[in-house]
Structure 1
Amino acid sequence: MNTQEIATKKIVECNEIEIHYKRPIFNSHNKVASSEDSERFIRSFIDEKRIDYKEFFWVMLLTNANQIIGISEIAAGNTTGVSINIKEIYQLALLANAPAIIVAHNHPSGKLVPSEADRKLTRKLTDASKLLDITLLDHLILTSEGFVSFSDSNWM
């Protein structure tokens, strides 16, 4: 068997990916109606003892009615930043059939001012959202003392 025949055989043997999704019971969802709700639900999910230690990034998956399907920690970084894989955020949203998301990360420094990297990431997430028809509702920055919302601050 030559190299091309082996390559062709391997392609033929490739399995199809299957996605199985069961929607959570509708009445069991918590609803997000404001940035304060988003912050409260994310804080209930995260370990507050780590918020001043290093940066973390989370995504909240929502229904059309802004009910929470789930929250996931996407990445953990160091004291000055966190590296985000945008594909992983939207992969989760697609797998959960979530038409909307809210993202959040913390600033261990305690500063509630978005960095240029934070703003650039939000623009990239907004662009990707438009392509995938998934609404990016907000981007929150959390500290142990408070939070700031990109949406409330008209930064999106």
Structure 2
Amino acid sequence: MICGHNFHYGCRTFSNYSNSSIVNTPRIIIAHNHPSGRSDEPSQNDITFTQNLNKILKMVGIELIDSIIVSPNSYYSLADNRLLSE
């Protein structure tokens, strides 16, 4: 479980992952939704944010296992599609 506060990135809200190290969380999975249902494919912004977050998490010893995008009828795993790192 990730505990912490929220911060805003564009028009979306993400949990503050730095607090996960306080509760000794060595690995995390993040997720967000695309409620419109038009696509579960990541935007370039989704990919860039995830790759930057992954770099930061590595610096503090936390492994990002996956970033998942959920839409009404499916999901998209950035890990399965090898998009967690540049």
Same fold (TM over 0.5): yes
The share of aligned pairs that are identical, in percent, is 30
CA displacement, residues 54-101 of structure 1 (integer Å, 9 cap, x when unaligned): xxxxxxxxxxxxxxxx256965x8xxx41436xx1121x112110001
Gapped regions of structure 2 (runs ≥ 5): none
Alignment of 1:65-84 (within 5 A): 70-71=1-2, 81-84=11-14
Q: Structure 1 residues 74 and 106 mapped into 2: Cα distance closer, same or farther (>3 Å)? A: farther
Gapped regions of structure 1 (runs ≥ 5): 1-69
**Off by >4 Å, runs of 4+ in structure 1:** 71-75
Largest Rg, 1 or 2: 1
Q: How many residue pairs were aligned? A: 82
Answer 1 or 2: which has greater strand percent.
2
| Cα distance in 1 for residues equivalent to 2:53 and 2:69 | 15
The one of the two structures with greater contact order (alpha-carbon pairs below 8 A, sep at least 6) is: 2
Answer 1 or 2: which has greater helix percent.
1
What RMSD in Å do the two structures reach over aligned CA positions? 2.5
Q: Structure 1 residues 126 and 82 mapped into 2: Cα distance closer, same or farther (>3 Å)? A: same
- Alignment TM-score, normalising by the size of structure 1: 0.46
